[in-house]
A and B are shown apart, each in its own frame.
Chain A
Amino acid sequence: MAIKKLDGVRLNVKPMFIKMYHEYAFEGPCRFGEGVQLTKDFDLSIAAEKFKSWSKELADAMPADVVNLMEPVVIERDEQFLTTDEMLEKLAVGHEDVDLYWIGYASRPYDIVLEFGQRYHIPMAITQACCASSITSAEFLSRGLEFYSFEAWEDATDYMGILRARKALREAKCLCATRMTSTVSVSAPDSIIDPEKLTEKFGMRFRYLSAHELLDQISYDDPMENHCTPGRKGLNFDENDAREIDHLTKDLIDGAGAVEMEDKMVKKSVEAYYGINKFLDAYECNCFTAPCPDLCATRRLNNKQFTMCLNHSLNNEEGIPSACEYDIGAVFSKALLQAIGRRPSYMGNCFTSPIRNGVRAPLPKALFFNPDSVDQKMVDLKQMENIVLTFHSVPNRRWTGFDAPIRPYDIRRFAHSGFGATIRYDFAKDAGQVITMCRIDPTCEKLFVAKGTIVDGIGFDDTNCSEGVFFQVKDSKDFFKKQAAIGNHMPLIYGDFEDQVIELGELLGLQIVHA
């Protein structure tokens, strides 16, 4: 499989260097010196030295895992400041592949780079060197052209991660397995109202697939005999797939601490993961979501004996943003977090645990949770204030990178009858870990951003959708009020990336709702 993962996206940066020389030896208000310093040889030699040192500074500031630094383009012109079409055409060679031009110069590049910017509309950047940065940035920005001016190379390095993340979002293509509608999920109507806004504003694309066709083809049956597509060859598993599924299942089971379900049931969830990835590959997608309650209602998940949980966990670990409950907003937010943090994200139902008059509001026991575990958490959390819980049984096994070591995990069933493999991760062991979370609002206008510190976990020893993480935020009342206009599922990543997420949100033109 060759899914184009978002972590592989690189920002194509092309150095653009403008050299200037004086054809004649003379002094004036912007040229002074004596002897050899007034010669063309001196000017070009100085320009060569500057180009060399500037190129090294630029290269040192562009991390290879963020930026693809392209071959520089260099032009020379004399003191007449003439801009010719030949110069512009030389600068523009290969511009289709360039995400950002970086301007370097040996004396006064302003008019030529502006004309280039106006013709080609590709973002440009400069690092401060005397007065050129503010002159150049002001001439671009005042004309509505995208431009970045950095006070120091270190600042440029940091911001390349933000620009790479924006590009990654533009490269995001989500496979959406639909049942009832292609927009609003039954269980997550707080998600994106109009997915096309994500395309229009951020470039994220979508491919829609009938969930029934998907379920048909997660199968070893004859690929020509699928119910929804009879006579059309499907992506059903072949012998190679079967071997790979067995291999993946064994690895998953062997790597787990406890496995509290039958191996054959684990395998069925691996089949779902594997089949979904075949579709991701075939549809050239790198993100995924599928409905939960609305698909549950078909009884086909019960029939096929898997849930989507393991698929989401494994996808996220591999750098494929994958969200529960057909929550496209969560997919986008996970893609954003993963692009910034370069690490897997987690998501879940998110709500605060307020204390009023010295008493903590009861945590819910219904539906997902083991009542005994909830009672225990009410004791464990004591009078700790500003506590928030995010829960869904889709944790990762690695948290600090897509190739980070796998941490200890268990496997337990989702359904009481024994199917639906879920990763169980003990968040309590990570108490003290800072996390960053974000979620886009249903209108694609706002981005909720917050950070917290893990204090405990829930559901590690349990089944169903009870796996979760308790964390402490700055002000849970403020968190609650601000989340109210944003939505429930809250994607998060390990680490403090709050500033970067806010920077990216601002770059994307989103109103930041900071809790």
Chain B
Amino acid sequence: MVQTTLKELVEQADRRASRIIDDMKRAGISREEFRFDVREYTLAKFLLDPQEATGDDIFELAEISIGKLLAMNDKSILLAVGSSTCTNQSSTDIKKVLLSLALQQGMGVKLEPDESAACETTQQLADILYDRRRG
């Protein structure tokens, strides 16, 4: 059996995330469907399968993701989980910010940094994006 590299996993996840964004842009999408999509998008970006994470807390999902990546790091990509701006920022913060910015970009929505920081769950993030998108 051929082992999937981390690089290949990331590429698969990006394709999956792109499809989810398309669904999120669908006219008539309900709030519940949108919430489901944001969580699925988060799992995709964090390279997690649904059975690997049951919760909704973004930091917890990020922790699980980092643990998984560290366990399977095959050097095929940079993990990019360290500080990149000398702010002594945690890896989970960075993952959360990248997730939020990607969703904002994908949806064509702009959140204030404090608004994004206030979201602790994928549902909270989904709701603010959903309302902003409609508004």
Interface residues of chain A, those whose CB is within 8 Å of chain B, are: 20, 30-33, 36-37, 39, 41-53, 105-108, 129-130, 132
Contacts and interface: CB of A to CB of B under 8 A. Distances in A.
Nearest to A52: B117
20 contacts: A31-B86, A33-B80, A33-B85, A36-B105, A37-B84, A42-B85, A42-B98, A45-B97, A45-B113, A46-B87, A46-B93, A47-B113, A48-B114, A49-B117, A50-B93, A52-B117, A52-B118, A105-B87, A106-B87, A130-B88
Contacts of B107: none
B88 A49 contact: no
Nearest to B104: A41
Interface of B: 80, 84-90, 93-94, 96-98, 100-102, 105, 113-114, 116-118
A400 to B, nearest CB: 39
B85 A37 contact: yes
A57 to B, nearest CB: 12
Contact of A45 (B80, B86, B105, B117): B117
Nearest to A29: B86
Nearest to B113: A48
A41 B101 contact: yes
Could you tell me the dominant secondary structure of chain B's interface residues? helix
Given A45-B101, A49-B97, A31 B85 contact: yes
A130 B90 CA distance: 12
A364 B80 CA distance: 77
Contacts of A53: 90, 93
Nearest to B105: A36
Nearest to B59: A53
Nearest to A35: B98
Given A45-B97, A49-B89, 10 more contacts: A30-B86, A31-B85, A32-B84, A36-B105, A45-B101, A45-B113, A46-B89, A46-B94, A49-B93, A49-B117
A361 to B, nearest CB: 62
Contact of A36 (B90, B98, B118): B98
A47 B87 contact: yes
Contacts of A106: 87, 89
A17 to B, nearest CB: 12
A129 B80 CA distance: 20
Nearest to A37: B84
B69 to A, nearest CB: 17
A234 to B, nearest CB: 60
A79 B117 CA distance: 22
A106 to B, nearest CB: 5
Nearest to A131: B88
A245 to B, nearest CB: 56
A107 B88 CA distance: 8
Nearest to B118: A52
Contacts of B97: 42, 45-46, 49
Counting chain B CB atoms within 10 Å of each CB, the highest count among A20, A53, A129, A132 belongs to A53
Contacts of B98: 36-37, 42
A45 B100 contact: yes
A484 B102 CA distance: 73
A32 B88 CA distance: 13
B40 to A, nearest CB: 21
A385 B100 CA distance: 69
Nearest to A22: B85
A53 B88 CA distance: 13
Most buried by A among B85, B96, B98: B85
Highest count of chain B CB atoms <10 Å: which of A31, A45, A51, A107: A45
B117 A107 contact: no
Contact of A49 (B84, B96, B102): B96
A313 to B, nearest CB: 52
A46 B85 contact: yes
Contacts of A50: 87, 89, 93
Contacts of B116: 45, 48
Nearest to B93: A49
8 closest Cβ pairs, A-B complex: A48-B113, A48-B117, A33-B84, A130-B88, A49-B93, A44-B113, A45-B97, A45-B113
Contacts of A20: 87
A466 B81 CA distance: 70
B5 to A, nearest CB: 20
A53 B90 CA distance: 10
Contacts of A41: 101, 113
B93 to A, nearest CB: 4
Contacts of B100: 45
A42 B102 CA distance: 11
A42 B98 CA distance: 8
